[in-house]
Amino acid sequence: MKVVIQRVKHASVSVDNKVIGKIDKGLLLLSCIMEEDEDKDLDYFVKKIVNMRIFEDEKGLMNKSLIDVSGSILSISQFTLAANTKKGNRPSFLGVKEKTEAKRMYELFNEKLRNHVKVETGEFGADMKIDVLLDGPITIEM
């Protein structure tokens, strides 16, 4: 699994000019399920993401987690994170999980996140537009 985590002041996702997910303070997650990923791998990512101390405390230090600040998640499926650009000019996406299984695992990932925080999502496989105000900016790859 590949996940890009971005700390945000607010973020929203639209499909066909209609907002389908929106959060205030929290995290924007762009995630890609890889061919070798299994359900058990999701637990590791969920635990790390909701407990990652990347929000500022009273002293301005990154000591607080998403849970500590009562933040939310906007979770977006992003298969292009798997792009292999080593050969030629057209990226290859051979390492991604088959679409039906990737969608199932993406939905399970979001369900597991919801056990800890509020989660909004995009639409798997759709052409989405994301409006975001990054905070920091803080961007972390997992």
The CATH number assigned to the domain holding 27 equals: 3.50.80.10
Q: Which amino acid is at 22?
A: K
Q: Which pLDDT does position 129 carry in this prediction? A: 98
Given a cut of 90, whether residue 94 has pLDDT beyond it is: no
Q: What mean pLDDT is predicted for residues 114-120?
A: 98
Q: Which pLDDT does position 117 carry in this prediction? A: 98
Q: What amino acid positions are annotated as catalytic residues?
A: 78-80
Counting residues of the chain whose pLDDT is more than 70, the rounded percentage is 100
- Identify the CA nearest to 42 among candidates 4, 90, 2, 82: 2
Q: What is the pLDDT of residues 27-73, one digit of tens each?
A: 999 999 999 999 999 999 999 999 999 999 999 999 999 999 999 99
Tokens of 124: 């798997």
Q: Could you list the residue range(s) of the whole structural domain that residue 123 is in?
A: 2-141
Domains of the chain: total: 1
Distance CA(118)–CA(24), nearest Å, equals: 11
Listed in order, strand segments (DSSP E) in the chain are: 2-15, 18-23, 26-32, 55-56, 62-64, 72-77, 118-121, 129-141
> 130 near 78, Cβ under 8 Å?
no
